[in-house]
Chains A and B, each alone.
Chain A
Amino acid sequence: MEFEWIKIPYALLTLFIVLNYGLLMTAVIRKMGARAGRRYGIRFYQNYIDLIKNYSMRSKIMHGYMFYLGPVLRLTGGIGLLLFVPTIFGSEMWSNFSFSGDLILALYFVFFGTLGMALGAGESGHPFAAIGVSRGLSQVTAAELPFAIAVFTVALQYQTLSFTEIVAAQQGGFLNWTLFTNPFAVVAAMIAFLGMMMRSPFDVVLAPQEIPIGPPTEYHSAYLALMQTNRNILPIAKIVVYMNLFFGGAGSWPEFMLKAFLLYLFSALVGVVFPRFRVEQSIRFFLIWGLPVAIIGLLWV
């Protein structure tokens, strides 16, 4: 197939919309959490200010090239995940670079960012960053397992590896969603979703109180700003994947925003209720609860 150059500006526009949506939505969710705690909470545009501040820091300490590449790779993972998955179904303009077989590519990109940052954090030379890296990777790997099996289940169910066709098969009303045609896979994937969002109770790797023993320990100024940019894009990209696979895709931007907000809210609601798990507890959680459900779903199809 020939490459249509018109897709590039549209893809950049999608990226821009998703970035802004992520920045605003994360601020709104934090504000909601704060209001639940009877505080005023941060301002809507606080994420923008933090990003500008970090990008405008005047000095940087570079620990080596891999240290510099760590956040770059992480951001690449986030943007790549977004761009290779069709955001709005049925629209020539917004389907980014998706092609048939992009399901496997999506699975790859979900993990790619974490690996990149693991390498970068290891290079920083901080001993606690190495601890955090091993913890983070083991947790993400354990969370990926039910997700991967659920994805294969869905691929088996619809006999296709292309996002567009999976979404197409879910159109035509509520009940065609994978949520209702294959609930086990969806339950397993939602359990994995909590882990991959990196929020409570699985945020032992990234939470500010745990940072001295986590990968972002040595990251500062522009590096941190890159990682924060990613932190706003990657969850939305993952939500897009989830939406397309399990919840019927989005036919238009408002529908996309609504569904993304609800999915993120689900992880936030779980997050504000539960305290943090330790890494071995969370691995145990994924393997005990996520895996059997996913396998049942696989066998059922």
Chain B
Amino acid sequence: MKDETNNDANTKVPMRDELKKRVIKGPDGFEFEVDPLRDYYCEEAPKEHPPIYVKIVEDFFNWARSESLWILGFGTGCGAIEMRPLMTPRFDAYRYGIQWRPTPRQANLLIISGYLSVKTLKRAIRAYEQMQSPKYVMGLGSCTINGGMYFDSYNTIKRLDEYMPVDLYIAGCMPRPEALLKGFEDLKKIIRSGKAEGANHYAEHFERYKENQKKVILDWDMPDYNW
């Protein structure tokens, strides 16, 4: 796992000064070298976590995972407004076991709601890589499928599954909350059948995903794998 692609001829955007490797003088005059992108992260690639238990146990775990979906509370686009009614008494997603969690460490479903601009893609990748396996991604709206109404925009991505593995798309611009609830039901079926192994797919094809991501995100100033 190398970080060579930072600052070489491919990325034409120079890295910010505070992220470069340099020598700092501490408050008591002690000089030390610091490399922000490497100091706090390690260089491992993502590991695959295949299901290891007996089939019955894995089925039981998949059932539990499907009945308790914790969504990361990150509204990436205009679809976030369709997620808010789900918390209200009319559509009540809590009775399906769905909760919104504020930190990616505790969430296991990332909903990309709506168009995903390149700026947000960088943050969404970071959030996705910080989630623990098994994790799922759902694309909400037509913009994640083929670009939607922003198909000719210079700043949004057109296909979500070039950049992260997607388990389910919900079409619409924006889909109504009822459509979202039906989407959650379908996602539960996919999880229960054991086919929602997006995290392992990501780890397996990590180089390809990373290459796609770096092609659009030209100012890459993160480690390659933000675990």
Residue ranges of A at the interface with B (Cβ–Cβ < 8 Å):
34, 37-43, 46, 49-50, 52-53, 56-61, 125, 208-209, 211-212, 216-221, 224
Contacts and interface: CB of A to CB of B under 8 A. Distances in A.
Contact of A49 (B40, B51, B67): B67
A217 B134 CA distance: 19
Contacts of B61: 52-53, 56
B209 interface: no
A27 to B, nearest CB: 11
B64 A49 contact: yes
Nearest to B133: A59
Given A56-B64, A217-B105, A49 B97 contact: yes
A228 to B, nearest CB: 10
B126 interface: no
A41 B94 contact: yes
From DSSP, what is the main secondary structure of chain B's interface residues? Answer: loop
Contacts of A40: 92, 94-95
Interface in B101-135: 101-103, 105-106, 108, 132-134
A224 B99 CA distance: 15
B76 interface: no
B49 A59 contact: yes
B100 interface: yes
A168 B12 CA distance: 79
Given A38-B89, A208-B101, A220-B105, A52 B64 contact: yes
A217 B61 CA distance: 24
- Interface bracket on B: 20 to 34
Interface of B: 40, 47, 49, 51-52, 60-61, 64-65, 67-68, 89, 92, 94-95, 97, 99-103, 105-106, 108, 132-134, 227
Given A49-B68, A52-B68, A208-B101, 15 more contacts: A34-B92, A37-B89, A39-B89, A46-B68, A53-B67, A56-B65, A57-B132, A58-B51, A58-B132, A59-B47, A61-B132, A208-B100, A211-B102, A211-B106, A219-B105
B89 to A, nearest CB: 4
A47 B58 CA distance: 19
Nearest to A125: B40
Contacts of A217: 103, 105
A50 B67 CA distance: 8
Given A37-B89, A57-B134, A61-B227, A218 B68 contact: no
B97 A43 contact: yes
Given A56-B65, A212-B102, A220 B97 contact: no
A209 B89 contact: no
Given A40-B92, A46-B68, A212 B132 contact: no
28 contacts: A39-B94, A39-B95, A40-B92, A41-B92, A43-B97, A49-B64, A52-B61, A53-B64, A53-B108, A56-B61, A56-B65, A57-B108, A58-B49, A58-B52, A58-B132, A58-B134, A59-B47, A59-B49, A59-B132, A61-B227, A208-B99, A208-B101, A211-B101, A211-B106, A216-B106, A220-B106, A221-B132, A224-B106
Contacts of A38: 89
